[in-house]
Structure 1
Amino acid sequence: MDTSTSRPISVAIVGGGIAGLSLAAGLVKQRHLNVHVYEAASAYEDVGAGLALHRNALEAMALIGPEVRQAYINKALSLTSEEEEMIATNVYMAHGPHAGTLVAELGKAKGRKSVSRADLLEGLLALIPKDCISFGKRLCKIRPYSGEARRICLKFSDGSAATVDCVLGADGVHSRVRTYLLGADHPAAAPKNHDRWQIYRTLVSSDFARQRIAEEYTRTVPIMLGPRGHVNCIPLNKGKRLSAGIAIRGVAPVPGDGDDDNQAPPLDPAEYTDYHPAAQNIISMIADDPSASWRALDHDPAPYYTRGRISIFGDAAHTALPFAGNGAGQALEDAAMLNRLFQGVRKLDDINIALATYNCARIERTQKVVELSRKFGRVYAFAEPGIGDDVDKIRAFLDEAGEFMNMYDVKGDIERAFVTLSAIKLERDTKTEGLADANSLKKPDSQD
Structure 2
Amino acid sequence: MAAPTAPTPLNIVIVGAGIGGLSAAIFFRQQGHNITVLEQSRFANEVGAAVHIAPNAAGLVSRMGIDAPATGAVECLTMKNVKPNGETMFEVPVWRSRGRWQHPWLLAHRIDLHSELKRGAIREDGVGRPATLQTAARVERVTTDGVVVLASGEEIRADVVIGADGVHSKTRYALPGSEGIRPFGSGKSAFRFTMPRSRALEDPVTKPLVGAEGQMTLYMGRDRRVVIYPTRHNEILNFVCIHSTKDSEISSDDPDSGDWQNTGHLDKLLEVYKDFDPALLALLGKASEDTLKVWELLDMEQLPTWTEDRLALIGDAAHPFTPHQGQGAGQAIEDAASLACVLPLGTPPSEIPARLKLYEKCRYERASMIQEYSRIVGMDLGTGPPFDGLKYTNDNFGHDEWHHTQQKLREWEWSRNPTAYRRMPVAFGPFPGPRQDCTGNARDWSASTFTTASIKFRTSRTLLEGLFPNKAFRFAVSDTNCYATFSVSSLGNLEWLGGNGYSHLGLYIHGVEYTKNNGETVEGDYLPVLFEDLADPIISGREEIGMPKVYSRLDVAKTTDSLTVTAGWMGSDFLNLSLTQLQSSEAQTDAASPASSDENLFFYKYIPATAAHGEEQRSADVEYACISPMDEKVNAMKKVERRTIAQKAEIRIEALDARKLPTLHHIVERLAEIPIYEVVEAKIVEGTGGSDLKAARRLE
Question: 2:376: which partner in 1?
Answer: 375
Q: Contact 1:298/1:370 (CA < 8 Å) preserved in 2? A: no
Give the percent of matched residue pairs that are identical in Structure 1 and Structure 2. Answer: 22
Deviation sequence 1:16-71 (CA, Å, 0-9, x none): 1111111211211333x222111122114442631231111112334x43x14x2x
Deviation sequence 1:258-289 (CA, Å, 0-9, x none): 58499989635356455345433333334966
Q: Contact 1:201/1:292 (CA < 8 Å) preserved in 2? A: yes
Q: Secondary structure at the match of 2:392?
A: helix
Deviation sequence 1:142-179 (CA, Å, 0-9, x none): 2343xxxxxx2211123332111111111111111112
Question: 1:135: which partner in 2?
Answer: 135
TM-superposed CA distance for 1:184, in Å, is: 6.0
- The AA in structure 2 aligned to 1:95 is P
Q: How does 1:348-363 map to 2 (within 5 A)?
A: 348-363=349-364
Of 377, 397, 400, which aligns to 2:391?
A: 400
Cα distance change of structure 1 residues 106 and 402 upon mapping to structure 2, 3 Å threshold: farther
Q: How does 1:48-63 map to 2 (within 5 A)?
A: 49-62=49-62
Question: 1:316: which partner in 2?
Answer: 317
Question: 2:168: which partner in 1?
Answer: 174
User: Counterparts of 1:314 and 1:18 in 2: how far apart (Å)?
Assistant: 9
Question: 1:222: which partner in 2?
Answer: 217
Question: 1:242: which partner in 2?
Answer: 237
- The AA in structure 2 aligned to 1:154 is V
Between 1:397-406 and 1:277-286, the stretch displaced more is: 277-286
User: Counterparts of 1:427 and 1:254 in 2: how far apart (Å)?
Assistant: 57
- The AA in structure 2 aligned to 1:192 is F
User: Counterparts of 2:174 and 2:352 in 1: how far apart (Å)?
Assistant: 19
Q: Secondary structure at the match of 1:416?
A: helix
More strand by share: 2
Do structure 1's residue 418 and structure 2's residue 406 form an aligned pair? no
Q: How does 1:23-34 map to 2 (within 5 A)?
A: 23-31=24-32, 33-34=33-34
TM-superposed CA distance for 1:364, in Å, is: 0.8
User: Counterparts of 1:374 and 1:230 in 2: how far apart (Å)?
Assistant: 14
- Higher alpha-carbon Rg: 2
Of 69, 81, 97, which aligns to 1:92?
A: 81
Do structure 1's residue 101 and structure 2's residue 96 form an aligned pair? no
Q: Secondary structure at the match of 1:126?
A: helix
Cα distance change of structure 1 residues 287 and 7 upon mapping to structure 2, 3 Å threshold: closer
Deviation sequence 1:392-428 (CA, Å, 0-9, x none): xxxx522221221112243542222211332355469
Cα distance change of structure 1 residues 401 and 340 upon mapping to structure 2, 3 Å threshold: same
RMSD: 3.5
Cα distance change of structure 1 residues 308 and 254 upon mapping to structure 2, 3 Å threshold: farther
Question: 1:82: which partner in 2?
Answer: none
Cα distance change of structure 1 residues 44 and 141 upon mapping to structure 2, 3 Å threshold: closer
Do structure 1's residue 78 and structure 2's residue 74 form an aligned pair? yes
Question: 1:194: which partner in 2?
Answer: 186
Do structure 1's residue 208 and structure 2's residue 199 form an aligned pair? yes
User: Counterparts of 2:25 and 2:256 in 1: how far apart (Å)?
Assistant: 37
User: Counterparts of 1:385 and 1:227 in 2: how far apart (Å)?
Assistant: 12
Q: Secondary structure at the match of 2:299?
A: coil
User: Counterparts of 2:272 and 2:320 in 1: how far apart (Å)?
Assistant: 31
Question: 2:280: which partner in 1?
Answer: 279
Q: Contact 2:16/2:164 (CA < 8 Å) preserved in 1? A: yes
User: Counterparts of 2:216 and 2:20 in 1: how far apart (Å)?
Assistant: 23
User: Counterparts of 1:49 and 1:263 in 2: how far apart (Å)?
Assistant: 14
Q: Secondary structure at the match of 1:51?
A: strand
Of 175, 179, 188, which aligns to 1:185?
A: 179
TM-superposed CA distance for 1:385, in Å, is: 3.7
TM-superposed CA distance for 1:221, in Å, is: 2.3
Q: Contact 2:226/2:241 (CA < 8 Å) preserved in 1? A: yes
Cα distance change of structure 1 residues 325 and 281 upon mapping to structure 2, 3 Å threshold: same
Question: 1:84: which partner in 2?
Answer: none
Q: Secondary structure at the match of 1:233?
A: strand
TM-superposed CA distance for 1:312, in Å, is: 0.3
Q: Contact 1:94/1:279 (CA < 8 Å) preserved in 2? A: no
User: Counterparts of 2:317 and 2:298 in 1: how far apart (Å)?
Assistant: 12
TM-superposed CA distance for 1:204, in Å, is: 2.0
User: Counterparts of 2:371 and 2:347 in 1: how far apart (Å)?
Assistant: 33
User: Counterparts of 2:12 and 2:79 in 1: how far apart (Å)?
Assistant: 41
Q: Contact 2:229/2:238 (CA < 8 Å) preserved in 1? A: yes
User: Counterparts of 2:144 and 2:243 in 1: how far apart (Å)?
Assistant: 42
Q: Contact 2:196/2:237 (CA < 8 Å) preserved in 1? A: yes
Scaled by the length of structure 2, the TM-score of the pair is 0.51
Cα distance change of structure 1 residues 411 and 310 upon mapping to structure 2, 3 Å threshold: closer
Q: Contact 1:173/1:315 (CA < 8 Å) preserved in 2? A: yes
Q: How does 1:282-361 map to 2 (within 5 A)?
A: 282-286=283-287, 291-343=292-344, 346-361=347-362
Q: Secondary structure at the match of 2:174?
A: helix
User: Counterparts of 1:35 and 1:428 in 2: how far apart (Å)?
Assistant: 37
Do structure 1's residue 233 and structure 2's residue 221 form an aligned pair? no
Gap runs ≥5 in structure 1:
80-86, 146-151, 388-395, 435-448
Q: Secondary structure at the match of 1:294?
A: strand
Cα distance change of structure 1 residues 173 and 356 upon mapping to structure 2, 3 Å threshold: same
Question: 1:384: which partner in 2?
Answer: 383
Q: Contact 1:321/1:327 (CA < 8 Å) preserved in 2? A: yes
User: Counterparts of 1:254 and 1:271 in 2: how far apart (Å)?
Assistant: 15
- The AA in structure 1 aligned to 2:410 is V
- The AA in structure 1 aligned to 2:308 is R
Q: Secondary structure at the match of 1:194?
A: strand
- The AA in structure 2 aligned to 1:126 is R
Scaled by the length of structure 1, the TM-score of the pair is 0.78
Question: 2:47: which partner in 1?
Answer: 47
Cα distance change of structure 1 residues 282 and 424 upon mapping to structure 2, 3 Å threshold: farther
User: Counterparts of 2:117 and 2:263 in 1: how far apart (Å)?
Assistant: 34
Question: 1:157: which partner in 2?
Answer: 151
Q: Contact 1:91/1:106 (CA < 8 Å) preserved in 2? A: no
User: Counterparts of 1:321 and 1:75 in 2: how far apart (Å)?
Assistant: 26
User: Counterparts of 1:271 and 1:34 in 2: how far apart (Å)?
Assistant: 49
Q: Contact 1:90/1:222 (CA < 8 Å) preserved in 2? A: yes
